[in-house]
Amino acid sequence: MTELLIKGANLVTGGDDHENALPAGGQDILIKDGRYADPADASAEATVIDADGLTALPGLIDLHTHLREPGREDAETVESGTRAAARGGFAAVLAMANTNPVTDTAEAAAHIRTLGEKAGFAQVFPIGAVSKGLAGEELAELGLMARIGVRMFSDDGNCVSDSRLMRRALEYVRAFDGVIAQHSQDPRLAGRDACCHEGEISGRLGLAGWPSAAEATVIARDAELAKLTNSRLHVCHVSTAESVDVLAWAKKRGIKITAEVTPHHLLLTTAEVQGYDPTYKVNPPLRPDEDVAALRAALADGTIDAVATDHAPHARHDKEHAFADAAFGMLGLETALGVVIETMLNTGALDWDTLVQRTSIAPGRIAGLGSDLGMRPAYGQTAQLTVIDPQRRNPVDAAESFSLSRNNPWHGRELPDPVMITIADGRISYQRQ
């Protein structure tokens, strides 16, 4: 019997009250053999953690993590990536399918899940590919993957640009309430060389740009397909004001559409690209100020449902190139909560309950986890908890990351650094020393 007594934490629940729910507010939280129990039943043997002045949140869930294993274990492994996740306060991550080999079979998906269980830092839920080999031609084994519990499918990195294939994928997953997570970007409109937002800065720097329309047009098409099939569509990493308008339009029509925004799109802008530093090369690209403002407003009012990191580790030799030739992507797991607090809490755009909605409750619902994750904590449930000090700030030091990669866009920037303890699947997976 193990007992952990967290004393005096202020619990933010983000969810509706119900019979077994832990009350919100300042209290002691008892975790007995991994499950929430009545603190009145704590024994003298319980390990006590003083959490006076700290805040407790339901464990964060990341809908969009690239773990790079199998295939690019030099950039990240399931173990290193989930260690970084735990440090960032995440109890669970959804692992994107664009590994090598691609996660497009039930065996491949089961393997990822097993690696996550072995590492033990965060629960790992594999995302299955929509198409075989991410080639966009033939559907992957969606049904077989669903049989082992996969509910989310994505060709992320690529857009499922063939309308007919997208329709068939949406039709297929409806039977088991699955969801297609789309990397919305018209590959013809964006063009192969695009590496920057298309606008004044891309012109000045001589970089090939993506027009905002390359994103919004795909979201609009997919919204129509979700309506046609009465199926669930999730839009990955929304980055423009135009896309927010399309999402609002689709939601108003009752279409089953959800969306996520990354921490980097909530804070960084196209201006970062002016030094040609490939750390800031990301897909979709960083956008101008007015897009950042629209994304923050949409996350606050619920047009965008969730925050997702798009944590994309890269080995040095894939990033250290001229801007146009470097790999896309940046690290995000360890800094995500800090950036959300900085951009949304500290600006007054979100309150704590809504932050919990966007970082835990909504991600759990969208991914169809149907477990103790993404729910208001309740007695008897497996503990999934993030204990934070919301006042704690620090300059980010890329060298200290638990990730195997160093493509960290926040290096040197002072941000909230709040995570003190992460409890995933009933066990402490991170504790600040």
| Binding positions for Zn(2+) | 64, 66, 156, 183, 237, 310
The CA distances from residue 185 to 158, 178, 220, 261, in Å, are: 8, 22, 11, 15
Count interface residues toward Zn ion (CB under 5 A).
Answer: 2
- For residue 334, which of 418, 392, 425 has the smallest C-alpha distance? 418
- Using the contact rule CB under 5 A, the part of the chain among 107-115, 137-145, 182-190, 391-399 near Zn ion is 182-190
Contact (CB, 8 A) for 127 and 115: no
Question: In the structure encoding, which two tokens stand for residue 187, read together?
Answer: 């590959």
28 lines the binding site for Zn ion (CB under 5 A): no
Strands 90-95 and 123-126: parallel
62 lines the binding site for Zn ion (CB under 5 A): no
User: In whole angstroms, how close is the CB of 328 to Zn ion at the nearest point?
Assistant: 8
Question: In the structure encoding, which two tokens stand for residue 100, read together?
Answer: 């090598």
- Using the contact rule CB under 5 A, the part of the chain among 181-189, 224-232, 259-267, 399-407 near Zn ion is 181-189
- Using the contact rule CB under 5 A, the part of the chain among 98-106, 149-157, 196-204, 312-320 near Zn ion is 149-157
Within positions 369 to 388, which residues make up the interface with Zn ion, using CB under 5 A? none
The CA distances from residue 52 to 25, 36, 377, 387, 394, in Å, are: 12, 19, 19, 11, 21
User: In whole angstroms, how close is the CB of 141 to Zn ion at the nearest point?
Assistant: 22
Residue 398 backbone dihedrals phi, psi, to 5 degrees: -55, -30
What is the rounded distance in angstroms from the CA atom of residue 113 to the CA atom of residue 94? 10
Within positions 155 to 174, which residues make up the interface with Zn ion, using CB under 5 A? 156
Q: Which of 310, 372, 417, 425 is catalytic?
A: 310
Instruction: Pick out the residues of the known binding site for substrate.
Output: 66-68, 98, 283, 314, 328-329
**Residue in the shown chain whose Cβ atom is closest to Zn ion:** 183
> In the complex with Zn ion, which residue's Cβ is closer, 26 or 136?
136
Residues 104-143, one symbol each (x = binds Zn ion by CB under 5 A, - = not), give ----------------------------------------
User: In whole angstroms, how close is the CB of 253 to Zn ion at the nearest point?
Assistant: 25
**Where are any strands of DSSP class E within 274-408?**
306-307, 385-388, 393-395
Question: Which amino acid makes up residue 227?
Answer: K
- Identify the residue among 68, 183, 264, 311 touching Zn ion (CB under 5 A): 183
| The total number of residues written for the chain in this structure | 433
314 lines the binding site for Zn ion (CB under 5 A): no
| Residue 400: count of CB within 10 angstroms of its CB | 11
What is the rounded distance in angstroms from the CA atom of residue 419 to the CA atom of residue 433? 11
CA 271 vs. chain centroid, Å, equals 24
- What are the beta bridge partners of residue 235? 182, 259
- Using the contact rule CB under 5 A, the part of the chain among 153-161, 288-296, 311-319, 370-378 near Zn ion is 153-161
79 lines the binding site for Zn ion (CB under 5 A): no
Catalytic residue list contains 193: no
> In the complex with Zn ion, which residue's Cβ is closer, 312 or 356?
312
Annotated catalytic residues are 310
Footprint on this chain of Zn ion (rule: CB under 5 A)? 156, 183
